[in-house]
Structure 1
Amino acid sequence: MTTVGAVTRAALAQRRGPLLRLAGWSFAEALPAALTGLLTARAVDDGFLAGRPGVGLAWLGLLAVAVLVGALGTRQAYGLLGEVVEPFRDDLLRRVVAGTLAGATDGRGDDAAVTRLTHQVEMVRDTWAGLLMVVRGFVFATGAAVVGLCSLAAPVALLVTGPVLAGLLLFAAALPAMVARQREFVLAGERLGRDAVVAVAGHRDVTVSGAGDRVVDWLGGHVDAQARVERRLATMAAARSLSLAVGGWLPVPLLLVAAPWLLRQGLGPGALLGALVYVVRGIQPALHTLFQGVAAGGLRFVVTLDRLLKTCVPPEGSGGATAASPRDPAAPALSLRAVTFRYGPDAVPVLDGFDLVVPAGDHLVIVGASGIGKSTLAGLMAGVLRPGAGTVHVAGTPTATATAAELAAHRVLIPQEAYVFTGTVRDNVRYLRPDLDDADIGRAADRMGLADLVARLGGLDAVLRPAGLSAGERQQVALLRAWLSPAPLVILDEATCHLDPATEARLEAAFATRPGTLVVIAHRISSAARARRVLLLDGGHVHLDTHRGLLARSAAYREMVGYWAGDGVRSSRTAGRSAPLPSGSAPRSSP
């Protein structure tokens, strides 16, 4: 599990340059805090009390210059803040979207994802920015004030730093309780958002059934619960007030009580006044801002970010993705054991106790009537669908526990509706293998007979727009992408249904010679004739054999071959050498 601390440290490490520039301008911003007390002491002791008002005004003039430098530092610091905060927000958005899509792929709908995306990410972004400025301001302002106190007299610095440290320790001790209260608040808001979506989505049913009052009471209970949690969170203000009283206000009476002794030790009245200025104008506001910022924004940041990280996944290239597990050379390309799958708890199983082993290097074609479950089987093989019972392994890796990166390293699935995005031809075809150069792409296109297609599209630099391509062109782009994929297993789920028979035959022949394993959901019976093995799904029966073997022993397969041929049942000898059929004669398989 990625922790808040690890993600925060990674975000800071990635923005080291802007942070260093931010620190530099923070030194400039802290200049007035470092010089206010010292210049005030000099103006009083060496100027006004010594009867030299010109000298006193000169010291105050230097203070005015320091204030102007500090204002410039503040302006530049806020300008650099966006360079640190916005990339962090973008990373969180990618994580939330990736996690939500992964959950949806696994069949886990999550209405609270809307709350996370629209509310919690923005809350983390805002509190992260505020926390950076608060901590930065406290460190530089307090450090400058302590340096200034030491420049006045060491005893004065000791009188002030003791209570400040005590106040910080009190605040740190109260932080765990503050975090717990803030976590309760975030969870209550998420529950309210999720249940509100459910209520709004079902408002018609609520109205028809007359359950409006009950639903209002139900949601009202969540609102009341959130209000109670927020009130408990507000009680933690007492801990902040106590910490501020000890660290920010206690040094003032201590300095006043110790003033006679300090004056007897040779400390001038101006120096004592300067020490009070450091406390009241430097340390006290810095502590107040720190306690308020951490107790409010800091706690929201930690709790909300922790909640986001538990429900999302790191984007590719963020350093948090799980590396793909090594392939077991002895494991089959695919293994399905006692697999049962149904769409809904009360639905008839599409597959029931299904077993299949596909050895590495196999060329398997799956055929069957429309709606028999061929595409469902392809989804289970690819790990897109999870079985209700049984196990599916790809190259020895169980799909139920494999990450997206692991599955992508082992298999590539091309569905009937090919995916092409707006971008160059190059970006589209090497989407699964971004390290390939143009020469590699050209050789693959030549091998598949798609060089003319690439040229017709305008070359690798041409920008593709999905709406401007035909369905067949989209399929060919996706097939070239699958060929270039590093995955050894290719699953084509009617991926050539929009192509003419000759093009289909050429592409399937190319994939059959590609190193690895090929599984084809057949669009035409000619695909089965070219395969090494054929799997026939026939209701509750499954037949696995060669094309000729099924012709010899399966009446259902012979009937299917005759239907595809369009002229009745053929003899084994004739069907065994069946030619590609016109695309218009092929029935379409439902997903």
Structure 2
Amino acid sequence: MKRVVRFTAAALRRRAGPLGRLAGWSVAEALPVLLAGHLTARAVDDGFLAGRPGTGLAWLGVLAVAVLVGAVGTNRAYARLGDVVEPFRDELAQRVVAGALQRSTSSGARPETAAVARLTHQVEIVRDTFAGLVMVVRGFLFSAGAALIGLNSLDPLVAAVVAVPLVAGLALFAAALPAMVSRQRDYVHADEQLGEAAGAAFAGHRDVVACGAQRSVAERVGRQVDRQAGAEHALARMAALRSLSLAVGGWLPLAVLLLAAPWLVRRGLTAGAVLGALVYVATGLQPALHALVQGVAGGGLRFAVTLHRILAATAPPTAPGSTPPRSPGTGPPTGSAGTPPRYPGTAPPTAPGGTLRTGPAGTARPDTPRGPRPVRAELRAVTFRYGPRARPVLDGFDLTLADGAHLAVVGPSGAGKSTLAGLLAGLLHPQAGTVLLGGTPVGAADPATLARHRVLIPQEAYVFTGTLLENLRYLHPEAPDERVDAAVHRLGLLPLVRRLGGLSATLDPGTLSAGERQLVAAARAYLSPAPLAVLDEATCHLDPVAEATVEEAFGSRPGALVVVAHRISSALRARHVLILDGGVPLHGRHDELLTRSATYRELVGHWQGRPVSAEATAT
């Protein structure tokens, strides 16, 4: 784990400024913990026990003000968390990509498919657990520190009585951490090996039966099952050790304080001070220790194990000032000194039945539509990034969608396809530029206005309990029966209607498959009067034939259509294709992009099951 500690420490040192701001707001967040016991003691001793309830209430009022300040501190601390976490995630993603490119482009190497899992799954695990780890460690340091300072202000001896078992509990937990990490690693390895063994057995079951090797294969898979079960039991035993640490560090101080209360009172400690000390332990130290132990033992172990696997499998990140590797045909990298990449100054082709214009801010975007067509959505010089220091997902991006436009958005995971869908739907707001729906800026539009202009169908389709007809008419309650029937037939929903017993049948969302839920959501959106439809992988659970049926139905629907493609076949049905791959976005027709984009050729080649070259396609 030394490599994990060094990598994380170096990343934190590079974030000294954001960490300082996070610490500043953490001080404000810890203010109620710092003052709670002391103000409680004053309220009891100077107020209620002295027969002055007004004074007691006044001290409690001061505590209420401190709680409000702490709430503001909590809010701002979470807002500052992204300044620490997002650059860390970007560095790790760059390391994964650089290592994969280096190995995949070496002599005789094969493309590394495992890098996709590291980039799309493991990096996100590290990001999420790193954020949780930063918050729980920060919370413990400031909350426990504030509680100990408060205890010391009441009586240094009380602070010493409480600190001894707290330190003992922390020491016990720290001593058990290496074993916890080892058990977590063993569990992950056993789980992966079980998956590999079971997958191989399932894939070759016909050969296994033909050779009469069922018992041998079952025994081999069974050994992996036993190993995985043993690893899980060992991991569960670590939970008992965590509970012991919590008991020693969290509950023992409370018991010691209660047992020592008579002796402390004889030494001159007031009743209010005893109550204040209990407040410090019960509301400050104990919750902070519980959050630390559970956070480190849960997310912290996942962070350490997953980050170790990434670091062991990737090359060191590109040195500052050097040019990161990039795939051929993806365009130039982001310019130096903050200069954003710009599109080529050529205009995209237009096709009958639709108008689509894209390009960089400030460049000409000539268009030759067949007569004036209403513009349904427009992005003007839009720049969007997740976090102030994160790399832009879109930078100076322009897009115009008029009636009849049918745009497919393709590219690898994490390239910004769903981000573009969120911007078009008004769910995300850019840091620079303007997003217009029907000529209305989305930032100034209320939800009802947005709903009139666009309908978004996300990947996870929502179906509520009610009749099937109520689900379909949700976005257009006045839709006539004949139009509903037409939508049912047009989108291939008729088999589901028959299975349920008609449109008046009550839906139980739990009984529908993921594909059936997507069909219901698609038909609901199809009936919506909104002129812009955005399908964000909305057909990913459908088979290719059903997906084609849905997209062709939306393609003939009045208005404009944007499809975030799950399969490259969606691009073949679209009039225009937009490629987002982390470099310069490219747009055009399918045949043109095959000659202009190596990324697009690779995507089409994987879909067809064979490499596709520009020359072969052109002929």
Range into which the TM-score falls when normalised by the shorter chain:
0.5 to 0.7
CA distance in 2, matches of 1:122, 1:219: 30
Of 324, 329, 332, which residue of structure 2 is paired with 1:420?
329
Q: Is the 8 A contact 1:112 1:190 kept in 2?
A: no
**Match in the other structure for 1:348:** none
Change (3 A) 1:185 1:113: farther
Q: Is the 8 A contact 2:329 2:596 kept in 1?
A: no
* Partner secondary structure for residue 329 of structure 2: coil
CA distance in 1, matches of 2:250, 2:97: 44
CA distance in 1, matches of 2:596, 2:75: 54
CA distance in 1, matches of 2:103, 2:88: 23
Instruction: Flag the structure with larger Rg.
Output: 1
* Partner secondary structure for residue 250 of structure 1: helix
The answer as to 2:166 corresponding to 1:140 is no
When structure 1 is superposed on structure 2, of 191-200 and 256-265 the one drifting more is: 191-200
Of 291, 294, 299, which residue of structure 2 is paired with 1:292?
294
1:221 Cα deviation after fit: 4.2
RMSD: 3.9
Of 231, 246, 249, which residue of structure 1 is paired with 2:248?
246
Post-superposition CA distance 1:25-53 (Å, at most 9, x none): 11111111111101110110000000000
* Partner secondary structure for residue 82 of structure 2: helix
Change (3 A) 1:263 1:239: same
Q: How many residues align?
A: 356
Instruction: List runs of 5+ in structure 2 lacking aligned partners.
Output: 340-364, 366-395, 397-583, 599-613
* Partner secondary structure for residue 50 of structure 1: coil
Q: Is the 8 A contact 1:85 1:125 kept in 2?
A: yes
* Partner secondary structure for residue 136 of structure 2: helix
**Match in the other structure for 2:467:** none
**Match in the other structure for 2:57:** 57
**Match in the other structure for 1:81:** 81
**Match in the other structure for 1:185:** 187
Change (3 A) 1:247 1:201: same
When structure 1 is superposed on structure 2, of 254-263 and 156-165 the one drifting more is: 254-263
**Match in the other structure for 2:172:** 170
Counterpart amino acid of residue 58 in structure 1: A
Change (3 A) 1:260 1:434: closer
Post-superposition CA distance 1:371-421 (Å, at most 9, x none): xxxxxxxxxxxxxxxxxxxxxxxxxxxxxxxxx99xx9xxxxxxxxx9322
CA distance in 2, matches of 1:103, 1:305: 19
Instruction: List runs of 5+ in structure 1 lacking aligned partners.
Output: 324-403, 409-417, 438-457, 476-496, 499-591
1:57 Cα deviation after fit: 0.7
Q: Is the 8 A contact 1:186 1:304 kept in 2?
A: no
Change (3 A) 1:262 1:473: closer
1:64 Cα deviation after fit: 1.2
Change (3 A) 1:83 1:219: farther
**Match in the other structure for 2:152:** 150
Once the two structures are superposed, the pairs formed by residues 115-514 of structure 1 within 5 Å of their partners are: 115-195=117-197, 218-219=220-221, 221-317=223-319, 419-421=328-330, 423=331, 427=332
Q: Is the 8 A contact 2:208 2:214 kept in 1?
A: yes
Counterpart amino acid of residue 183 in structure 1: R
**Match in the other structure for 2:453:** none
CA distance in 2, matches of 1:120, 1:146: 38
CA distance in 2, matches of 1:211, 1:262: 75
Counterpart amino acid of residue 79 in structure 2: G
Change (3 A) 1:199 1:91: farther
**Match in the other structure for 2:45:** 45
CA distance in 1, matches of 2:336, 2:111: 31
Post-superposition CA distance 1:268-305 (Å, at most 9, x none): 10001100111111111111111111112112211221
1:147 Cα deviation after fit: 0.8
1:167 Cα deviation after fit: 1.3
1:131 Cα deviation after fit: 0.6
Q: Is the 8 A contact 2:257 2:278 kept in 1?
A: yes
**Match in the other structure for 1:383:** none
Q: Is the 8 A contact 1:94 1:314 kept in 2?
A: no
Change (3 A) 1:99 1:227: farther
CA distance in 2, matches of 1:68, 1:195: 55
Q: Is the 8 A contact 1:115 1:190 kept in 2?
A: no
Change (3 A) 1:166 1:67: same
Counterpart amino acid of residue 328 in structure 2: Y
Change (3 A) 1:81 1:211: farther
TM superposition score normalised by structure 2 = 0.51
**Match in the other structure for 1:398:** none
CA distance in 1, matches of 2:25, 2:5: 26
CA distance in 1, matches of 2:112, 2:253: 52
1:6 Cα deviation after fit: 2.4
* Partner secondary structure for residue 328 of structure 2: coil
**Match in the other structure for 2:12:** 12
1:263 Cα deviation after fit: 1.4
1:148 Cα deviation after fit: 0.5
* Partner secondary structure for residue 3 of structure 1: helix
CA distance in 1, matches of 2:197, 2:175: 35
CA distance in 2, matches of 1:94, 1:196: 33
Post-superposition CA distance 1:307-326 (Å, at most 9, x none): 1100012332469x9x9xxx
CA distance in 2, matches of 1:98, 1:2: 22
CA distance in 1, matches of 2:139, 2:216: 50
1:112 Cα deviation after fit: 4.9
1:17 Cα deviation after fit: 2.8
When structure 1 is superposed on structure 2, of 204-213 and 10-19 the one drifting more is: 204-213
Counterpart amino acid of residue 263 in structure 1: V
CA distance in 1, matches of 2:260, 2:595: 89
1:16 Cα deviation after fit: 2.7
CA distance in 2, matches of 1:265, 1:470: 85
Change (3 A) 1:318 1:232: farther
CA distance in 1, matches of 2:260, 2:597: 83
CA distance in 1, matches of 2:223, 2:320: 40
* Partner secondary structure for residue 316 of structure 1: coil
Identity %: 60
